Amino acid sequence: MKRILLPEFEKEPSPFCGRAEDTEEHIEDTCFSGADFSRLDCEKNEFASVKFLNCRFAGTNFARADFFNTGFENCDFSGAVFTDAAFRKVKLSGCKGLGTYFYKAYFTDATIEGCNLSYSNFSEGKFRTAIFKDCAMKECGLNFCKLKDLYFEKCDMTGADIGGTIFRGTDFTTCALAGITLSADLHELRGAAVNGAQAEQLLRGTGIIVR
């Protein structure tokens, strides 16, 4: 997996971010439109019933932040850090998140649709009733995740690293899986659904010839 370097974060005040390192903010029933909050430190902040439209969060620190009933639409959070963040009843639509760090993040009742999340790291994350639809997820890290009712629909997962995650019950038949990284015995995909072309690609790496 590629090493992801974390950015340095500015300690400037913002309309919703803590003004000091030990300050936590709770933001509720608010809409932000067209704002640029890049590279700010918003660690441990809480957001409830908040909507972000066309906002920029490039390199922003949301480690251990909590998002409840919150929506992101056409936002850019490329390179942002969401380590140990919680996404509960959240929707991301049309967003750009290249190289975003979701390490150990928690997603429940979450919908991620039409987003470019290529090169992002979701490793050791927890997913409960979450769907990725029409997303670019090239070379993503999905290692050692815990899943319950995780769905993928028409996602490009080319080159993704899924080693150590058990995808039993997950349907990949509409997704691109070329070049994914997993164990030699393919145990990550036992009980998962793949189509014929995908099965041939996967078996090719084991030396089995499909005629």
- Per residue in 151-209, pLDDT (tens digit) is 999 999 999 999 999 999 999 999 999 999 999 889 999 999 999 899 888 887 665 55
Rounded to an integer, what distance in angstroms lies between the CA atom of residue 211 and that of residue 208?
10
61 in Cβ contact with 84 (< 8 Å): no
pLDDT at 146 over 90: yes
Phi, psi of 161 (to 5 degrees): -105, 110
User: What's the mean pLDDT when you consider all of the chain?
Assistant: 88
Copy the structure tokens of residue 204: 């090719």
pLDDT at 25 over 90: no
Sign of CA dihedral 130, 119, 122, 170: positive
Strands 71-73 and 86-88, sheet pairing: unpaired
Rounded to an integer, what distance in angstroms lies between the CA atom of residue 191 and that of residue 93?
29
- 148 forms beta bridges with 128
The DSSP code for 51 is E
Rounded to an integer, what distance in angstroms lies between the CA atom of residue 185 and that of residue 203?
10
> Residue 208: what pLDDT?
55
Q: Which of 76, 3, 71, 2 is nearest to 35 (CA)?
A: 76
> Residue 116: what pLDDT?
98
HSE (side-chain half, CA atoms, 13 Å) at 130: 23
> Residue 203: what pLDDT?
81
